[in-house]
């Protein structure tokens, strides 16, 4: 069965620090990859997605992610976080002809002002 691992469950950073959240998946075929964000009290929003092409994907709010096929990874990065980035971040992977993405357990990010 396909699985998605987000190794960092809780991350605490100060403003202006750099961020990298890990995401690894188990499926070896063609995949679609997503990062979603859930701000406190708000619904899940799409940050960025990768379907094909340039493996470095840029999303909203200065986030980017890099698809490394050989490492089965799709890590999320931001060079300088802000207090407003405090949220829960979910990685999701879709593959194997399934329409349904598998989600990781999420990473809770707290940014101190």
Q: Which residues bind other proteins (CB under 8 A)?
A: 9, 34, 36, 42-46, 49, 90, 92, 98-106
Nearer CB in complex with other proteins: 14/26: 26
* Cβ 90 to other proteins shortest distance, Å: 6
Asked if 56 contacts 66 with a C-beta cutoff of 8 angstroms, the reply is: yes
Q: How far apart (Å, rounded) are the C-alpha atoms in residues 77 and 45? A: 17
Question: With respect to other proteins, which residue has the nearer C-beta, 4 or 19?
Answer: 4
Q: What's the closest the beta carbon of residue 98 comes to other proteins, in angstroms?
A: 7
Could you tell me the CA-to-CA distances from 104 to 15, 19, 79, 89 in Å, in that order? 25, 18, 23, 9
CB of 31 to other proteins, least distance (A): 14
CA pair distance 40, 92, nearest whole angstrom: 19
Nearer to other proteins, 43 or 70 (CB): 43
């Amino acid at each position: 069965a396909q699985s998605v691992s987000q190794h960092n469950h809780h991350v605490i950073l100060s403003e202006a620090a750099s961020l990298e959240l890990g995401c690894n998946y188990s499926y070896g075929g063609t995949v679609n990859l997503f990062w979603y964000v859930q701000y406190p009290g708000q619904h899940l929003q799409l940050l960025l997605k990768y379907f094909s092409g340039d493996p470095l994907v840029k999303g909203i709010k200065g986030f980017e992610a890099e698809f490394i096929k050989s490492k089965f990874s799709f890590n999320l990065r931001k060079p300088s976080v802000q207090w407003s980035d405090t949220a829960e971040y979910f990685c999701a992977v879709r593959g194997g002809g399934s329409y349904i993405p598998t989600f990781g357990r999420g990473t809770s990010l707290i940014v101190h002002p």
